[in-house]
Structure formats: C-alpha cells, structure tokens
Chain A
Amino acid sequence: MYKAVVIGASAGGMYAIKTLLASLPGNFKIPIIIVQHLAPDSDNYLVEFLDKNTGLTVKEADEKEVVQSGFVYVCPPNYHILVEENMSLSLSADEKVNYSRPSIDVLFYSAADAFQESLIGIVLTGANDDGARGLFYIKKKGGLGIVQNPSEAESPQMPTAAILEANPDHVLEIRQISKLLLQLANKNQDKNSL
C-alpha cells in the first residue's frame, strides 16, 4: 500500500507536473510532495498555477506540517524539504546538493527512509542529474520508481540519468504516469476495504 508520491522535476517541469496533476481526480488519496528546481527568489506562482489546474489542493509546504491525503505539497524555493518518520515535513537551508536547493535527492532519500516500500518516486524532465541517486535509494528501500520517457521530456537529461542510475520499474509518458498512479491508488482502496 502506497502512502506517498514524491516527484522531482527541473527544466520544463512546470508543464510536466501540471499535465500529471491535471489528470488526477480531487479524491486521489495518496499525498504528493514535489521538488521543482526554482530560482531562489521565485514567488508563489508555481503553487498557484498548479492549484488552478488540478482538483487536488496544491500548497507550499509548511515547516513541520503533517502530510495529508488530497494535498500536493510544493517545496518552497531556496530550501530543501525532508520527510520525517511521523510524516511531517521539515525544511532546511543546508548547502546545495547537485547545485540545487531544493534538491530532489534530499527529498527522495528522506522520504524513502520515512515511507520505506510504501513510496512512489517519480523523476520528470530536467537538464541535470538530481534525483537519480535518490530514486536508486527509493528502489533500494523497496519503493516504486517511475521515470518520464526521455523522448517525451522537454529536457531529457534528468530522466535519462535516473534510468541509468536507478533502473526504474516504469518509463512512461506523463499521461501514462497519471493513469498508473490512479490504478495504484485504486489498489490501495481495495486493500483498505478488505
């Protein structure tokens, strides 16, 4: 049973994430946590843009907030985001990782520690290799790894790096990723009703 989805994206990510979230219904039960590489002085535009384009509630992650079903949490610019064992979110102003703050690897490592095999990790478009090692670690902890098909990605470098490093379970186009997430969430439901 999956308890969380973590998504990492960089160049071209805004529209890729939008497409992914737009195909998920408002009653999609698994909480989603997103790292999108942003300039440190970015405003709240990404959160507002995503929120307008999905039935789910998109918000900037607050420090120590506990993740909940029906919500999409976006990491604020110039901070790393980490997941605690009690499913709350921590922020950090630590040094950049992979030249990035927020870094996808930082989110993926801590989420894998917190959720173990109950985690889905997704790497989308981007022009660097952040997220590759993190996805490897998610898979090591028994979680599910999904990568956007590089041929569809606006910037193929990041998904390509993740495929090489982490040997993901699925390499799919964005719309297929949404479909798969829905199927997995429905399986969760079935297990719940048993």
Chain B
Amino acid sequence: MKSDSDNTLREKIEIDLLIEAVNRFYGYDFSNYSKAHIKRRMMVFLAKHRFESISEMQHHVLHNPQVFEDFLNNFSINVTEMFRDPGFYSEFRKHIIPTLKTYPYLKIWIAGCATGEEVYSFAIMLKEEGLLSRSTIYATDFNSEALQKAGKAIYSIDTIKSYTANYQKSGGKSSFSDYYMANYNSVIIDKSLKVNVVFAEHNLVTDGVFTEANLIVCRNVLIYFNRELQDKVLALFNDSLITGGFLALGTKETIQFSTIANKYSIVSKENKIYKKSII
C-alpha cells in the first residue's frame, strides 16, 4: 500500500492552524500540549460532530462559541474518579497527614481538579483525620463547565461501586455511603464536604501564582504537556508552595527532569509525593 504522506502533512498543518486560531481568538494556549494527545482529542471531537476535516472543524470552532465550549470540554480531561490510585491515598494518610496535623491552618491547592472527584476524596480523608475544619481547599481548573459540575457534586450512581472499592483500599475509616445521598440514578456528595472548598478558574498555562499553599495536588495533568510546559508549571507550583510544603503528582509523573528537582526531597518515589526543602 502506498504511503499516506499527503494526508499526514495536511492534517499536521490543519492541527497547527487550529491551535493557533483557538489561542488568538479565545486565549487558550494548547501549543505546548503533547502533540499526540492533541491529535487524539481533535479526532475524537471530529468523529463526535461528524466533521469531514479539521479545517471544517476550525470553521465551526471559530464561528460558533457553543461549539468552542464543547471543544474546550473535549480538551480538558474530565475522566477522573474518587480515590484513584488507592495506594497514593493510603500512603498520604500514613506519611503526610501526621506532618499536616502540626499546622494550625492548612491551605491546599488542587490544580486541574476537573469535575471534582479528587477534591471530595481529599475532603473525606481530611475530615476523617480531623483536619478538614482547619483547611481551605482551593480547587482550580481552566474549564468553567467542569468547575460547575465539581461545585454541584452530583455523580452517576454507576460509579459508586468502584469508588467504594477504591475508598476501602485507600484506608478509609468509615463507610463510604456516609458521604453521599443516592437519588435515582445519581448521588450527591454530602454538603459538609463542600464547606471548606473554594472553586476557582485558573489556567496553569497562562495564569500566575495562585496562593501560598501547604500542599499542592496536581495529578495526571502534567502528562498532557510537553517537557517545556511541564517545567514552567512546576516552577509555578514551586512559587506557590511554602518551604516544607508538599507537592503530589500523578503516579507516572515526576519532577526528576525539571529545574525544581534539586529543591525537593522525595517522600514517596512510588506515589510521587515531594517535599520542598528548607534550604
């Protein structure tokens, strides 16, 4: 079979043009995202809307703000679960919580919180450890629609079985059903878990320092960025974290190759928890 090189070149050009168009017109910069990831998300979007080509898609994205909203949703990864990687949470409970208990007041930044599952996982853990009432959790994402969902805290009942299993494996101290109310096909997370959470729009790519946090959690966000952007965002985290504060990344993410690596000690190699050194 003959090589498909013309189509490949055409697609590459179309993708670059669409990224530029979205940045110039809407101010969302995807140019330093992983290219393979961008292409995949665009093809998923193309199939969903049955566009013939990325050029056609660009027309609709530029001319119809509603299509753009959907495009943006398609780009932010809203696939998250409560207590994803239970091993991370159980290690966090064992090794980080005791240090956090020594602080009178905690500021926690959960960056790229999407639809909030991780936020409520943390809220549950902090509550069980007696820390929630003296914590403020800042939960941010660039996607306002995802943030709205996060604020509503309503999830499909189909997910509860696997969340419950995750919760139990993560070292949960209670019964997971204590934290939600079931209603037909959905569950709503208990209000008490939301009291200390502040949801805010923040774009890691274009926005600056957010707060002086004791803990920053940003899991499975950096994997979508190229090395350059990863480095920039890690520097932003470094500027937003107090000395002695903790940084928790996804289990497959690392600060190892970044410029902030030498400022941190490794608390958990397996679960990617780092501590900002007292220099």
A83→B4 contact, CB < 8 A:
no
The proximity string for B residues 107-133 relative to A, scoring 1 for CB distances below 8 Å and 0 otherwise, is: 000000000000000000000000000
- Closest B residue to A169 using CB positions: B1
Contact-residue bracket for chain B: 20 to 34
Q: Is B172 an interface residue (CB 8 A)?
A: no
The answer, among A64, A114, A116, for a CB contact under 8 Å with B3, is A116
Closest CB in chain B relative to A193 CB, distance in Å: 24
Q: Is B252 an interface residue (CB 8 A)?
A: yes
Closest CB in chain B relative to A112 CB, distance in Å: 9
Per the bound structure, the CA–CA distance linking A110 and B79 in Å amounts to 20
A83→B36 contact, CB < 8 A:
yes
Per the bound structure, the CA–CA distance linking A93 and B118 in Å amounts to 14
B4→A141 contact, CB < 8 A:
yes
The answer, among B1, B40, B77, B226, for a CB contact under 8 Å with A109, is B40
A110→B40 contact, CB < 8 A:
yes
Q: Is B238 an interface residue (CB 8 A)?
A: no
The proximity string for A residues 81-114 relative to B, scoring 1 for CB distances below 8 Å and 0 otherwise, is: 0111100001111110000000000100110011
* Contact residues in B for A109 (Cβ distance below 8 Å): 40, 43
B39→A63 contact, CB < 8 A:
no
Q: Is A28 an interface residue (CB 8 A)?
A: no
Closest CB in chain B relative to A65 CB, distance in Å: 10
Known: A90-B36, A93-B79, A116-B8. A140 touches B224 (CB 8 A): no
Closest CB in chain B relative to A141 CB, distance in Å: 5
A93→B77 contact, CB < 8 A:
yes
Q: Is A31 an interface residue (CB 8 A)?
A: no
Per the bound structure, the CA–CA distance linking A93 and B4 in Å amounts to 29
Per the bound structure, the CA–CA distance linking A85 and B38 in Å amounts to 12
Per the bound structure, the CA–CA distance linking A90 and B227 in Å amounts to 11
Per the bound structure, the CA–CA distance linking A117 and B257 in Å amounts to 32
* Contact residues in A for B4 (Cβ distance below 8 Å): 116, 140-142
The proximity string for B residues 1-36 relative to A, scoring 1 for CB distances below 8 Å and 0 otherwise, is: 111110010000000000000000000000000111
A interface list, Cβ under 8 A from B: 41, 62-64, 76, 79, 82-85, 90-95, 106, 109-110, 113-114, 116-117, 139-142
Contacts A62-B254, A106-B40 known; 16 new A-B pairs at CB < 8 A: A63-B254, A76-B252, A79-B223, A82-B37, A90-B223, A91-B252, A92-B40, A93-B79, A93-B220, A94-B41, A94-B79, A95-B79, A114-B36, A116-B5, A140-B4, A141-B3
List 10 A-B residue pairs with CB atoms under 8 Å apart, sorted by A's residue number: A63-B223, A63-B253, A64-B230, A79-B252, A85-B35, A90-B34, A92-B37, A110-B36, A116-B8, A142-B4
B interface list, Cβ under 8 A from A: 1-5, 8, 34-37, 39-41, 43, 77, 79-80, 86, 169, 220, 223-224, 226-227, 230, 250, 252-254, 257
